[in-house]
Structure 1
Amino acid sequence: METMISQLKHEFELPLSNPVLVFSLILFIILLSPILLKRLNIPGIIVLILSGVLIGPYGLNILEKNSAVDLFSTIGLLYIMFIAGLELDMNEFKANRNKSVLFGFFTFIIPLAIGLPVCYYLLGYNLNSSLLTASMFATHTLVTYPMVSKLGISKNQAVAVTVGGTILTDTAVLIILAVIMGSEEGGLTTDFWIRLAISLGIFLIIMFLVIPKIAQWFFHKLENEKHSHYIFVLFIVFLAAFLAEIAGVEPIIGAFMAGLALNRLIPHSSALMNRIEFIGNSLFIPFFLISVGMLVDIGVITDGPMALIIAGTLSVVALVGKWCAALLTQVTFRYSAAQRQLIFGLSSAHAAATLAVILVGYRAGVLDKNILNGTVILILITCIIASFATQKAGRKIAMSAEEPSSNSSVPGSRGTIFSDEHILLPIANTRNMEKALEFATLIKDKKSAYPLTILTVVPNDREAEKNMGKAREELERFSREATASEIRTDVIATIDYNASNGIARTARETLANIILLGWPGKKGFIEKLIGEKMEHLMTYTDKTIFIGDFRTPLVKHQRILVTAPPFSELEQGFGTWVSKICRLSEELNIPVRYYCTADTREAIQKYTEAHKINSGHQFELLESWDDFFILSGELKPNDLFILISARKGSVSHLPLMDNLPAKLEKYFARNSKIIVYP
């Protein structure tokens, strides 16, 4: 008994050394802290940082800052930067790259301009120390980005501009750090600049030319090895971080570049993206936030007035500099007050990059202990203020983004951004339906209360009951794949004498408003597509029908080309197909080019403006419907072609449309294509 008690005492000696016990404590904090303080309306980020302060070496000394904590902390920081690059809306970023550059300039030069005279004249440090400390004010870490992601506003223009500016300003600061260190060591020579330029150039070539091709090949060759996809992505993140370090910049730059390199290959609604975010937000990122708190030394307060003066001065200068940059950005681009506050919240948190700069300067003897301790206090203060600012602004923007969709009066839309959208996916040939299922998960409205319904219709014969069991087992496999993307699914196997009749009946019973069909086989193509079965489905349902032929994986497409007939904007389902094409464009981060009349172009522009959609639209006037066959010469193998058709008797129907499916197969055989019947 005494031996057991002695062993227990040894295990619980502070700081804890048992790795199992340490990990259990961290998991307990990650689990319990947000739950306990949620009712106090305190952001979970602050709770985790304060928990780190409490259990850290400067608090109760329960945990020490050892190599294991450093490892998980590094993974969490790289994860934050990687997810920021991965979730960046490239269409939005390209459309606003000049704004990102300007914001990066503001958030770099303003804190630097304020901080340099304060450190040099007020605090009395030399030029190199003042410049290095002032450059620290310009850095920021996207500590509060997970809050933005959870609120679903990561594609807001203010977020895209801030994230784009982050990489610019942090890179500039890290270059200043390299220059100052080179100056201190007497190594600021021509060779230094040439070596830095060449290494960065090689790094960028690897990241944006080599890595995407390898990733595309890997995802295609191992399409069914889903667990391997996540391991591969994790490998790329750490490889990029290591290559960035070799190139002479911080690993966080490499992680961000990895996110940008894989951006187009990992759609936001995919199962892989869900796994990346789930593991990061559940484990690695909270671990990083706790480790940030473990750096805070509350004992600095007792070190005398100079330590407090420096800590207070650094904190005020850092916050004022970032707030002025956010204000100037708001005034320049005419953003709302909520967007200004969101920019300030995202860019005002100082953590890893700040600490990296200061620690390097402290170890090199450029900075003293007062600056180091003051920086640690600055990290705590800025993270707390940034968390409250981001949460408040993010909620305002998220609430305002939900308001306009249902009541917008756009020609032909009739309120067709659905909160009650219901997609029906009939499956006839399970071998060819994985891409159709992927398409369904990408275009589905995540706010819809209805699940994605997967249907198979079994012929009503003597083998019906046996076939029903087989069909349901097969559908359950597809249901599990959709569930991995956090898409709710419902599996239905029904018996009917006629497949189209079973689809039409189920669509009415489930209140489905969109039906996704797979492309029929070449044998009997015309009969299958526009023959009796298809005519029955068209006649007895008023649902929007998508018929898809996906020759290549969706992520490999480079453009979406859409052809719409005259007066298509007057059809009731106009808003449905426009919104789905826009969503697909956002998920795949590829531009859309419309071939349509001037009236249709105006209606699409009004619709996208009313719903605040920016997906890089381009327009080409198509005055004659016969001209659309000319597009076959313009299409590239990786273009996705979408043809907006019409039902007989509708306002946009043309006699020529009756023969379009066969012509589509003839002229666009090598391309992935979709026919839409509004």
Structure 2
Amino acid sequence: MLPDLFPLTDAGSVFAVLLLLVLAGPILVRPLRLPDLVGLIGLGMIVGPNVLGIVSGQVLIHALGFVGLLYLMFQGGLDLDLAGFARRRRESVIFGAATFVVPMVATTAAAVALGLPFLAAVIVGSALTSHTPLSYPTIARYDLARNPAVTASLGATLLATVGALLVLAVASAGAAGSGGFGYWLLFTIGLAGYLVVMLMGVPRFTRWFFRGLGQDREVRLTYLLSGMVLAAILAGAIGIEPIVGAFLAGLAFNRFVPDGTVIADRVSFLGRSLFIPAFLVSTGMMLDPVALVTDPTTITLGAALVAAEVASKWLASSLSGRLFGFSASERGLMFSLSVGQAAGALAAVVVGQDLGLLGPDEVNAIILVIMVTALLAGVSADRHAPNVEPPGNEGRSLGNRVLVPVSNPNTVESLVRVAGQVAGPDSGAVVALNVLPFEATPEQVRAHRSLASRAERAALATGAEVRTSVRIDASIESGVLHSVVEQEGTCLVMGWEGQSRRSGLFGTVIDRCVAISPVPVLVCRPGIDEATKRVVLVITSDELAIGTDRGLSLAADVVNRLTRQAEVPVLVVTDLSRDELMHRLDGAFTPDEVMTEPAVLRALASRVGEGDVVLAITPQASSRLGRGAHRVAQAARGRTVVVAVPK
């Protein structure tokens, strides 16, 4: 009766088995202190056609596994710290070259030494030169995505994978007898056009889409997943492996999925809970355990390739890490991210089989390498990740995480709009915060949640991602500052009435927050305009004479953000000469218009108009300039006023 029951063919039954394997795999191996992926691959091998035959050749599992493979590369692109990558591009290039050249030479030489033809050996070498960051979920769980060693390794992943796939393309073209000048000309043109579309066109289109049609999170999630699959399909159409397309799609969407936001959690959860485990199960189904332990050719070739691949990846990680000054644990993370084989190896296996260069023995040997390196990647990450300190906020841009305390229903949209424009260029997240006292009633909590929902809609309309938070604390300032630390804020936007105070700058609560805030503060008097048509920066010699230029640097950063998001001009009203002004700005931005007048406030009042956002600067503490900010608010005549206060 059982032979008639298995293998399963009903889609519902197959899916149920897959979910049971995803559930059982981690549970079985965690008591043994083994990575989850070992359990998933092992159970896939057991239920696959080579052992029990419960599931055999199922299109559903292989389709989900392929999507999981794309998802793994897509997630790596999404989580790559682009600012860190820009700072660490030297390390990425050097490590990418090392982890490409050393394994390519070692594994190709090992394959030739064991009797494989040269082209077959090159294909095997390309299979084991690239790497798939199988240990990345573990590293992300320890909040190490922005660690310099991890950033360099993820950057090297792109370089090594592209290099390996180019070698594979050349070898396969040579084996097939194609690959003339015309072929490579079309391939180069197609690759260049693809990169332009993915890295320049897609981000611009995504920004437009999120600010218009994509203000609903379900729509955004569907858009991101559709983009991943379409990028992979387009890459395959022009001769690039789909996994590279998925990685580039992750890079293109990187700035639109900020860490710690709802959309980031949904993307990550979907991959971790279904698609990536399905990929690991489908990989296990390809294994033939009998051949792995009985066939001498498979055992010999597999052992040699494992030794060559692991030794060369360890050597590249160790030498590169020491050159960059990374700790032993960080070098271990580099090894864990670069030793795992899956995506590129499986692609090379398929190509080699189609060309008739790789037989069952070679395929089983490469599958053995995949399983052993997956185990090593997981063990290395589990061992080293707890010993690495998560990075702080150093180097994060102003708009990565903008906190906005909201309490006034009349100004919530205006405040959140300014916060969204500050966060927009980084595609950062806006955190709409409500702080309530300990004695708050349930009705007050519900009212503030409703206010948070309005703030959420306003932020999504600017194209920024948003999360809301209702906090109970001893005081408003304590709640605000505690939230800045807990939410890893990079900027604080606080609402201001625009009135002067007999003592202090802006009022008791704002002054206390400004005094001890660990991040820059933008004090905002919301105006009556619903759209930004121009940014007006007010600079006086008095402000620049007191303290340093930190206030001007912050104001220049805000000017760049507001003008970029709203696509509007900037007017500078100042009592400085134009030459001195440009010297002070030092290329931070180029004003569209400069108005030089001794009486700055009178000039401002005469030029301010509908849709203007007036930006002023102030040192951290100065009652004189606090009153000056009040006079700017008066001269702005109902327009939005933002006072930039550096930390």
TM-score range, shorter chain: 0.7 to 0.9
Contact kept? 2:340, 2:377, Cα under 8 Å? yes
User: Secondary structure of 2:334's partner?
Assistant: helix
- Name 1:355's counterpart in structure 2: 346
Write the distance in 2 (CA, Å) between the matches of 1:453 and 1:78: 36
- Name 1:283's counterpart in structure 2: 274
Within-5 A mapping of 1:56-205: 56-120=48-112, 122-205=113-196
Contact kept? 1:338, 1:397, Cα under 8 Å? yes
TM-score by length of 2: 0.75
Write the distance in 2 (CA, Å) between the matches of 1:632 and 1:371: 59
- Name 1:499's counterpart in structure 2: none
Write the distance in 2 (CA, Å) between the matches of 1:373 and 1:528: 77
Return the match for 2:232 from 222, 235, 241: 241
Contact kept? 1:646, 1:677, Cα under 8 Å? yes
Write the distance in 2 (CA, Å) between the matches of 1:72 and 1:517: 44
Is structure 2 residue 640 aligned with structure 1 residue 659? no
Return the match for 1:220 from 211, 215, 221: 211
Return the match for 1:426 from 393, 404, 407: 407
Write the distance in 2 (CA, Å) between the matches of 1:197 and 1:539: 59
Amino acid at match of 2:125: A
Deviations 1:431-454 (A, max 9, x none): 335457879999xxxxxxxx9851
User: Secondary structure of 2:644's partner?
Assistant: strand
- Name 2:288's counterpart in structure 1: 297
Write the distance in 1 (CA, Å) between the matches of 2:466 and 2:22: 22
Is structure 2 residue 303 aligned with structure 1 residue 327? no
Contact kept? 1:479, 1:490, Cα under 8 Å? no
Write the distance in 1 (CA, Å) between the matches of 2:321 and 2:445: 60
Contact kept? 1:425, 1:517, Cα under 8 Å? no
- Name 1:21's counterpart in structure 2: 13
- Name 2:434's counterpart in structure 1: 454
Write the distance in 2 (CA, Å) between the matches of 1:378 and 1:452: 49
- Name 1:603's counterpart in structure 2: none
- Name 2:523's counterpart in structure 1: 547
Amino acid at match of 1:240: A
Deviates more, 1:70-79 or 1:423-432: 423-432
Write the distance in 2 (CA, Å) between the matches of 1:654 and 1:58: 79
Write the distance in 2 (CA, Å) between the matches of 1:631 and 1:57: 63
Amino acid at match of 1:30: V
Is structure 2 residue 265 aligned with structure 1 residue 257? no
- Name 1:52's counterpart in structure 2: 44
Deviations 1:48-71 (A, max 9, x none): 222212222223222223221121
Is structure 2 residue 451 aligned with structure 1 residue 475? yes
Contact kept? 1:472, 1:491, Cα under 8 Å? no
- Name 1:601's counterpart in structure 2: none
Deviations 1:527-582 (A, max 9, x none): 389999943435677654643589999xxx9xxxxx9978879x9xx9xx99xx99
Contact kept? 1:199, 1:247, Cα under 8 Å? yes
User: Secondary structure of 1:262's partner?
Assistant: helix
Give the Å deviation of 1:229: 0.6
Deviations 1:460-518 (A, max 9, x none): xxxx9999588346236369889x999783267xxxxxxxxxx9954468985769555
Contact kept? 1:479, 1:491, Cα under 8 Å? no
Deviates more, 1:388-397 or 1:526-535: 526-535
* Fraction of identical pairs, as percent: 25
User: Secondary structure of 1:366's partner?
Assistant: coil
Task: Report the CA distance shift for 1:657/1:287 in structure 2 as closer, same or farther (over 3 A).
Answer: same
User: Secondary structure of 2:470's partner?
Assistant: strand
Deviations 1:193-236 (A, max 9, x none): 10110110111121122211211110000353221011111111
Contact kept? 2:256, 2:465, Cα under 8 Å? no
Is structure 2 residue 354 aligned with structure 1 residue 371? no
User: Secondary structure of 2:5's partner?
Assistant: coil
Contact kept? 2:261, 2:465, Cα under 8 Å? yes
Give the Å deviation of 1:380: 0.8
Is structure 2 residue 264 aligned with structure 1 residue 273? yes
Amino acid at match of 2:509: L
Amino acid at match of 1:655: R
Deviations 1:604-647 (A, max 9, x none): xxxxxxxxxxxxxxxxxx999995799774499xxx99977456
Contact kept? 1:513, 1:543, Cα under 8 Å? no
Contact kept? 1:427, 1:518, Cα under 8 Å? no
Give the Å deviation of 1:368: 2.4
User: Secondary structure of 1:658's partner?
Assistant: helix
User: Secondary structure of 2:260's partner?
Assistant: coil
Deviations 1:125-184 (A, max 9, x none): 222122222222212111111111111101111111111111111111111111122112
Amino acid at match of 2:39: V
Contact kept? 2:434, 2:470, Cα under 8 Å? yes
Contact kept? 2:292, 2:368, Cα under 8 Å? no
User: Secondary structure of 1:675's partner?
Assistant: strand
Count of matched residue positions in the alignment of Structure 1 and Structure 2: 569
Write the distance in 1 (CA, Å) between the matches of 2:334 and 2:530: 39
Give the Å deviation of 1:36: 4.4
Return the match for 2:470 from 482, 486, 490: 490
Return the match for 2:509 from 537, 543, 550: 537
User: Secondary structure of 2:434's partner?
Assistant: strand
Amino acid at match of 2:30: K
Return the match for 2:308 from 304, 317, 327: 317
Unaligned stretches of 5+ in structure 1? 1-5, 409-421, 443-450, 458-463, 493-502, 558-562, 589-621
Write the distance in 1 (CA, Å) between the matches of 2:614 and 2:315: 47
Write the distance in 2 (CA, Å) between the matches of 1:465 and 1:154: 40
Deviates more, 1:17-26 or 1:82-91: 17-26
Task: Report the CA distance shift for 1:661/1:14 in structure 2 as closer, same or farther (over 3 A).
Answer: farther
Write the distance in 2 (CA, Å) between the matches of 1:631 and 1:363: 56
Give the Å deviation of 1:387: 0.7
Amino acid at match of 1:474: S
User: Secondary structure of 1:454's partner?
Assistant: strand
- Name 2:597's counterpart in structure 1: none
Is structure 2 residue 499 aligned with structure 1 residue 527? yes
- Name 1:414's counterpart in structure 2: none
Contact kept? 2:110, 2:305, Cα under 8 Å? no
Contact kept? 2:301, 2:365, Cα under 8 Å? yes
Amino acid at match of 2:8: L
Is structure 2 residue 21 aligned with structure 1 residue 40? no
Give the Å deviation of 1:301: 3.2
Contact kept? 1:479, 1:489, Cα under 8 Å? no
Write the distance in 1 (CA, Å) between the matches of 2:5 and 2:500: 75
User: Secondary structure of 1:490's partner?
Assistant: strand
Write the distance in 1 (CA, Å) between the matches of 2:26 and 2:8: 23
TM-score by length of 1: 0.72
Task: Report the CA distance shift for 1:512/1:115 in structure 2 as closer, same or farther (over 3 A).
Answer: closer
Give the Å deviation of 1:185: 2.0
Give the Å deviation of 1:279: 1.1
Contact kept? 1:14, 1:63, Cα under 8 Å? yes
Give the Å deviation of 1:658: 2.8
Deviations 1:15-42 (A, max 9, x none): 2222222212222232343244333322
Structural RMSD (CA): 4.8
Give the Å deviation of 1:302: 5.2
- Name 1:675's counterpart in structure 2: 644
